[in-house]
Every structure is written in C-alpha cells, then in structure tokens.
Chain A
Amino acid sequence: MKSVLGDRRAIFLLLAPALTVYSLIILIPVFWSLGYTVFEGNAINGFSFVGLDNIKQLFSDPDVHQALWFTVRFALVLTAVQVALGYLLALLYVFVLRKASNLIRTLVFFPVVLPTVAVSLLFQQLFEYAPRNGPVNSILNVFGIPSVDWFGTSTSSFWVLILMETWRSMGFYAVLLYAGLVDIPEEVLESSRLDGASGLRLVRHIVIPLSMPVLLSSIIFSINGTLKIFDSVIALTNGGPGTSTTPLTVLMFQTSFGYGEYGYGSAIALLLTMLCLIVTIFIFRSSRRDLTKA
C-alpha cells in the first residue's frame, strides 16, 4: 500500500499543476516583491541598493505605527465580533430554529454575496449625518439621542467599518460554525441534558469544547482575512478621517502605487505578512494543545 500511496509519478501528476501555477503566480512575485525591500526607487528613476534602511524606517515611521495599530485593533475586534456572532447564530440554528433554520441560514448568508461597492454605498447612506440624517440617525433621534457624525471621527468610523463587515460576513461564519455544531453527536448532548446541564451550562461545558476545531479554523481564517482588509476600507472611508482608518494594506498600496516607493511599500507588505504568520502560528500552537487535550 505504501508503494501505491507513495507512487512518485502519481504524486507528481496530481501535485504539479497546482504547485506550478502557485509558484509562478504567487511565490515568485512574492519573493520578487520582497527583493524590492532592500532597494529604493522605481522603474523610471532606477533602483538603488539601500540595505536595511527601509526596514529600519518601519520602526520610526509614525504612519506605519498608526496603520499597524489600526490593523491589529481592527482585526482582533472584527474577528471576535464576527466569530462570536456567527457562533451565536449557529447555536440559534441548531438549538432554537432547527428545521426552519435552512431558509434562515440561506437568507442570512446573502450579504456575503454582495459586491463591496454595493455594501459600502449602502452603509454610507445608512449612517449619513450631513447634509441630512440617514436612517440610523433618524432612529436614534426617535429615542431622543442626538445625531452622531459617524464618519467624522476615527472611533465612530472604526465602529461603522466593524458593523459593515460583520453584517456582511456573519452569515458566512454562521454556516461554517453550524457545520461544526451539527457534528456533535446527539447522544452526548442528550446524556448531558439528562445529567442536568441545560442552556448556558450546556453550551459552555459541552458544546464549545466539542466544536473547538471548527472554531479555531474559523478564527484563523477570519484573522488572516481581517488583517488584510482592503476593498471595504477604501470604499467606505478611504482610510479617513485623515489617516485614522488606514490599515497596512492601504498604506502599502499607496506607498507602492501612489508614491512610487516600491522598496518601502514592499517593506510594509513584509511587515503585514510577518504579522499574519505570527498570529497564525500562535493560534495553531494553542490549537494543537487543545486538540490533544480533547
């Protein structure tokens, strides 16, 4: 059997297409881009070797600090909210809605399908403050709360972004986590219920531990996605007000494409990749521990 499963020709045949395309289109450009890190300049003015200057600049550049802080903050908050909300929805599907959940699941998944342009236009209109109150401010006014200039300060812009992305993706995580929850054998649930555990207790001590693998996969997936948020930010706030909602991806894009500083832009990209790597490894490590425990 080992010789069959270890058949070189077969492995090559099955793996080669994917590996080839991946190497040529992703790996090589990535290394090429990383190569730029030690240079300065662009295609017209030529490149000059600057060694580690670009990387050193990362440490002292306030724009990078601001973008890094925003990126990390945003990714952590959004992941927590997305996955938590998705999990709650999944619990809703499994324990409360049950049979009816199929239709609801499908409909709640729907925002995932919408293009970024549409969603950002929508949210801009919803949270409008000037010249005229949008629906959200109007509803707030009904409760006696004064209108908020949602896009005028960095904090409120941050939360509108979080809200927009959550609205967009909660259906997705709900479905993903639902798969994990449904996998939990009914016998385990029944026996725990007979033992007296119900509701919150049941969830905390039985359901969460048993669905940990899915949860962790979702968290990894979410973190990697949210650390690299791009389209949504550009469409909704364009990094504003000022540069307060500019994540590293947007900063990198502006630096490379807008200012023509390929070297520094690649350095920023390197920083982002390192961030994703560190976070992913961290989660992997802690997940391996959990899995062996379970």
Chain B
Amino acid sequence: MLQRGSKTRVIAGVSIVAAGALALAACSSSDDNTTDGSSSSTAGKSGSFTYLSFAENTAIKGTLESLSSDACKDENASSPLKVTTQPQASFDQQIQLLAGQGALPSIFPAGNSPDVAKSLDKAGNLVQIGDELKALGKQDDIIPAAKSTIEKLYDGKDYVLPTEFNVEGFWYNKEIFTKVGLEAPTTWDDLVKDADALKAKGIQPFAADGKDGWPLSRLVGNYIYRSLGADALQAVADGTAKLTDSGYVEAAQKVADLGKAGYFGKSVGSIDYTTAMNQFLTGKAAMYYMGSWALSNFNDPKQNVIGADNIGFVPFPAVTGGKGSADELAANVGVPLAMAKSNFDDGAKAWLGCIADNYGAAALNTGGVITGFKVNDDATDVPALTKSVQDTIANTSNTVLWFEALFSPKATTTSQTNAALLATGQLSPSDYMSKIQADLG
C-alpha cells in the first residue's frame, strides 16, 4: 500500500516539473507575441529608449512623450521612446531586480531615496551623466543651483538629471498680511510673532498636511539648517552628530511649540495634502510652507480663489544667532532620473543631449514645471508668480536639502509618520528624534 501511495506522489511530482518545463518552453517561444504591444521591462534590444516610470507620476512621462514627438523627433526615430510603469511602493525592488538581471531600462527615476541610486552607482550600473554632458558640451544646460543640490544628495557625484527644481519656503496671503498689518517674516521670531497676531485675529496661521507628515518634518529640517548650519544633516549622515544632540532636538521643540500654540489649526494630523492646499488657496489659512511644484495649483484659477497676484513668497526665515542664513534656499530636484550604463548606446546618448537642451522648455510648456534644466526657449509665456520664483532661483547658488534627504528609507518613514504626533504634542521632541536616530543606524 505504501508503495502505491508513493507512486502517486512521484507521478504528481514529475507532472509538476513537466508542467513547469512546458510552461518555460511555451513562453520562451511566444516571447515575441506579447498580446498588447507594450514592451516588457527587459533591456531595449532594438535600441529603443526605455523609460520606467512611477505609475503615479505622469509629469515626466508627459514631458518625455511630448519631446519624442516634437523637439526630439529625430532621436526618437532612431531610438523610439518606450514607457512602462511601476507603482512607487514597489519601485525600488523592481529596480533592484532589474539591476540584478542586467536589465535596467535606459532611463528611470533614481529610486524612492538616494540610497538606491548610490548602491546602483557603487555596483557600476549608472552613467556618469555630469561627465557625459561635459563631453557633449552641454553642461550649462543644468542650472548651478540644481547641480549643487544633486551633489549634496549624492555624495558629491553627479549622475542624475533634475526633472524638477523646486524651492521651498513660506507662501503667504498678501491681503491677510496687509489687513493684520504684518510683513513677511525674515527671522524665526518674526514668524512666531506673525502667527500669534494672526491667531489673535481668529485667522489660522499655517495650513499644513499633517497626514503625510513631511510638510511638518520639513520645518524641523529647515530650522536645523538655519540654526546649526548647512552641513548639520550631513554630519548626522556621517555619524559625527546625532539627532538626539540638543541643537537638533531644539528644532523639533520649536515645531512642537507651534503646534502647542494651535498655529496649525484643528487636528493637523488629519489634514491631507489636498485639504491643506485648499485651505491656503481659499484664504482660510494665512501661510503655507510648500515647494514650488505647487505653482501649478497656484496658477490654476479654479483652485486658487485668493488670486495668484495675492500670493507672496519668503524663504524659510533665519534663526537669530544661527550658523545658517536665509539665502540658503531649501531645494530639491523632484524625481531625478538616472541612466543605465548597460543601455547607454548611441541612441541613448543622442536622447541625453536632446533632453538636456529641451527638457526645461518642454516641462514649462506642458505642465508649468520649473526644472533644473536651463530654459532654452525664450518664447515661453510664463505666469508672473512662476517668473518671480524663477528669478529667485536664478539668484541662488547655495541650497540646502530637506530633513529626510540623507536618511535611510526606514528613518524617512519614521520621521514622516510621526511628524503629526510631534506637532500635536502626542510625541515629545526628544522621543521623536530618538526614534529617527534609532532607525538611522
């Protein structure tokens, strides 16, 4: 009886293997018959220019696609653009998988955190874009402020393209300020005084997206840069300083104080991004810390009830007696793009050159997005608010990063998910910092 039982099991086992082999055979032969024409994520064998996009991000895709039919038509003819998508949450793993198979796409977002790109670069997978652009004579297509930010993010190296260049600061409602008799704050103490005056008049001082957390943790990071200097967070990344040091905890304390005084309005932790934006744009809050990617919302009359000419911008204020200055604009390069060495053929090189020359203008035209590329097309019609931001950027040479820029993904999540708890007093500043510090190691 036992023998008969094992025979069945053997048959079952063999059939499984057979089925597997059959599947492999069938599938490799039908390799060319993909049912819907979309390319798989394998390397562009026919020299196509493959772009793996965040599924949730349509801006870069849109700009690349418009380039492919317009300014980069020739490059597209010899190396057609092929776009595939991957949800942001599993993007890093997808990239790691592809890197392991030697199948990275031609161009792709450099991951959810700088760590991913850094490890790819260590393994020799990435094109040194800065050097390539210099070889093509196009290094001036990248604006200096963007270059500075990139080098700060990637340990002094330059292997990504800045598809956006966003500066962050406080946007404020000019009308409300005039009504209450306030001026744009230049120091932290001014900021707190202004907030106090607004609250006294029954106006919510700040609109903030506590649900996502990062608009609040940005404030902590910026205070650190202003009080401890532009190298303060690099020191933490290098291990020469700790977030639990008193200077750093003080920054968290200052943000917690804002929350304690009620300057963020009711239950900031349940306010999401759209709601916070709406609060500011309908005049319910006087100040809004945000990046310049919000310009597309500011310039949309349907969303912007208070009017674009009513919005002023002031960089994060200085801290009296601090080592940093308000000139050091907080900036980021959006979703930076990296390129795979394994796919860097002539077609890709040509694309790189074309992107460098034209991405700036294309992004501005298709989405009103300010990028780290020079805008080589003077004929673009730019809204006044955007122009003023562009001017501010042009006058900036030194930028600072954001709080989580150099953190590991785990520490980034910890920082962002607990930011609202810090602001509502449910988590003490020292606990907040020690939680993050624990995840940094």
Contacts and interface: CB of A to CB of B under 8 A. Distances in A.
Please classify the interface of chain A as helix (H, G, I), strand (E, B), loop, or mixed, using the class held by over half of its residues.
Answer: loop
Interface size range of chain B in the complex = 35 or more
Interface size range of chain A in the complex = 35 or more
A15 B89 CA distance: 37
B152 to A, nearest CB: 23
A66 to B, nearest CB: 12
A207 to B, nearest CB: 43
Given A152-B424, A260-B409, A242 B119 contact: no
Interface string A230-241: 000000001111
Interface string A1-29: 00000001001100110011001100000
Interface string B94-122: 00110110000000000010001001100
A153 to B, nearest CB: 8
Contacts of B265: 130-131
B20 interface: yes
Interface in A211-268: 238-243, 253-254, 256-260
B418 A149 contact: no
A243 B16 contact: no
B26 interface: no
Contacts of B413: 254, 258-259
A12 B271 contact: no
A235 to B, nearest CB: 13
A42 B265 CA distance: 42
Contacts of B255: none
Contact of B119 (A20, A44, A240, A241): A44
A263 B112 CA distance: 20
B119 A45 contact: yes
Interface string A141-155: 000000001111100
A149 B410 contact: no
Nearest to B213: A240
B146 interface: no
Q: Which of A11, A15, A150, A243 has most chain B Cβ within 10 Å?
A: A243
Contacts of A259: 408-410, 413
A23 B418 CA distance: 41
A294 interface: no
Interface string B1-33: 000100110011001100110000000000000
B271 A131 contact: yes
Nearest to B19: A20
Contact of A44 (B120, B266, B275): B120
Given A20-B19, A257-B93, A260-B93, A130 B270 contact: yes
A43 interface: yes
A11 B269 contact: no
Contact of A242 (B112, B266, B418): B418
B284 A131 contact: yes
B417 A240 contact: yes
A44 B96 contact: yes
A164 to B, nearest CB: 15
A19 B267 contact: no
B92 interface: yes
A43 B11 contact: no
B123 interface: yes
Given A24-B20, A43-B97, A257-B90, 8 more contacts: A8-B8, A12-B12, A16-B15, A130-B271, A131-B284, A151-B269, A239-B417, A259-B409
The 3 closest A-B pairs by CB, nearest first: A43-B96, A130-B266, A130-B267
26 contacts: A8-B8, A11-B8, A12-B12, A15-B12, A20-B19, A24-B16, A43-B96, A43-B99, A43-B100, A44-B100, A129-B267, A130-B266, A130-B267, A130-B268, A150-B270, A151-B270, A152-B269, A238-B417, A242-B418, A242-B426, A243-B417, A243-B418, A257-B92, A258-B92, A258-B409, A260-B409
